[in-house]
Chain A
């Protein structure tokens, strides 16, 4: 992994890229890894600029407009028909999404 400190050039390693790619369920070619290492180094060094600001007393803003839980009455409403929901499935069978066997 890598560390980031203000004003210090930071390095993204091949291991970092592979670790993150695995979390994101992506497989990268060697060429892509090289490219993304460079891009990530540039971008992460750049976003390090945020460390110039003291935010120790600042609350984070997840949403710009104050939103609380949005509830509706618990009524039965129409849902989409099953065949419409399945129409884009790459593979289906008997009204179900079809996937490779997951349980031995």
Chain B
């Protein structure tokens, strides 16, 4: 096995036992990027020499015995909507094509403090709006399992890079499924933490009441390690939760006896592809054999989640993206007559089609006379969706279902069908609407040998139970050991 194929905890073991240096490890992953990036197209910016320089510095400190973190020397990459001081952060938009953040996002800083090595910035749908990474201004990211297919999105670059061994781990952001869906499509582990558990400071805002940063990793153990590094209260984010965060590595227990797993019947009905449904139900059966208690439950508002998401996310996006005016940073049109014309031309030339579509929908939903009919209505249904989760969590510890109704589709297949693409988020969006944590773990393959993921949904701030169930599943199956052959 090559170094770049290893999980973070395997890399970490080699570094701490001095069998491999941070420089060798970083070089291995950079070589891998050189070998397959042209096929996968997951990076917007690669930091070659800078990464090696950083790895050398970290190794020197490891040699002096100054470094304790499990993540020390681990090469990783960040979605390109997470600010990195002095490293271009584009949001995959023409609008921010040349934007160099003057500060680090809290998560970037936290990962640097753990002595990780930043390899670069990853492709995404423009401003995280999309589910296929086809909406990037720069390039379309391809699925390492089949390069004719999408990697998913909007964190498609993050998922594809990890799946292809081009990063030890990556961070993404998830507003309606943008970590979990691409992780599922690319056969890796992805977590959207509870709203407020990870600081959003320095994350370019899309829909602030639902955005959350989380890890994309090769297995559940890695997920716990990264989660330990990035969670925590941050005074720079007023929605950051000031609670006590546990040590997530303590949740890696190979035992699910007595854990009550609810299977929402709406998630395994006709709208789910039969192969996906079978893989997920087989996984449930495995967990049952290991001692978990299965129970069918109902989330009757499932079909209302996508419309609620459409309204709330577009409304918040239209407000958040008002800041791009061509004055303080970002794209400015070359020719304009006056200030208003400068605003209009800069925005019209700087934003892509999907971004404009959502700004228009959001502006409409918030406009005078329509606010109550759309925005307020969506917030009221949000309350009902949240209540329905509270209800099922009275009798279950976690919920289990598919992450996505189907496996990765062909590039171009849904490009001109926005509504159809939004419906692919049907099992992931409710989680953001209700602010819950959710984990996707590989649980099978379809007839085309494309990965299938199962989604575990938990109570607020109960990431630990998700990790425990995911870990137990991994310890008793082999799916997570498969690597994309590219």
Contact = CB atoms under 8 A, between A and B. Distances in A.
B344 A25 contact: yes
Contacts of B378: 47, 50
A8 interface: no
B460 A58 contact: no
A76 interface: no
A47 B327 contact: no
Contacts of B231: none
A5 to B, nearest CB: 11
Contacts of B360: 17, 20-21, 24, 26, 36, 40
B310 interface: yes
Interface in A19-68: 20-21, 23-28, 32, 35-36, 39-40, 42-44, 46-47, 49-53, 55, 58-65, 67
Nearest to B337: A100
B458 interface: no
Interface in B374-413: 374, 376-384, 386
A24 B303 contact: no
A35 B352 CA distance: 14
Contacts of B102: 80, 84-85, 87-88
Interface residues of A, number: 52
Interface of A: 1, 4, 16-17, 20-21, 23-28, 32, 35-36, 39-40, 42-44, 46-47, 49-53, 55, 58-65, 67, 70, 72, 80, 84-85, 87-91, 97, 99-102
A75 B347 CA distance: 37
A65 B344 contact: no
B274 interface: no
A36 B303 contact: no
Contacts, number: 159
A20 B384 CA distance: 29
Contact of B103 (A17, A70, A80, A90): A80
Interface size class of B (residues with CB under 8 A): 35 or more
A14 to B, nearest CB: 13
Interface of B: 98-100, 102-103, 195-196, 209, 235, 238-239, 241, 301, 303-304, 306-308, 310-311, 318, 322, 325-332, 336, 338-340, 342-345, 347-348, 351, 353, 356-357, 359-361, 363-364, 367, 369, 373-374, 376-384, 386, 418-419, 422, 433-435, 460
Contact of B356 (A32, A85, A90): A32
Given A36-B356, A46-B307, A55-B377, A88 B329 contact: yes
Contacts of B103: 80, 84
Contacts of B195: 64-65
A23 B310 CA distance: 19
A34 B241 CA distance: 44
Nearest to B101: A88
Given A58-B384, A64-B386, A88-B102, A24 B434 contact: no
Nearest to B326: A90
Given A20-B364, A32-B356, A85-B102, A72 B239 contact: no
A24 B359 contact: yes
A88 B377 contact: no
Given A26-B351, A46-B307, A80-B103, 4 more contacts: A46-B419, A58-B384, A65-B239, A88-B329
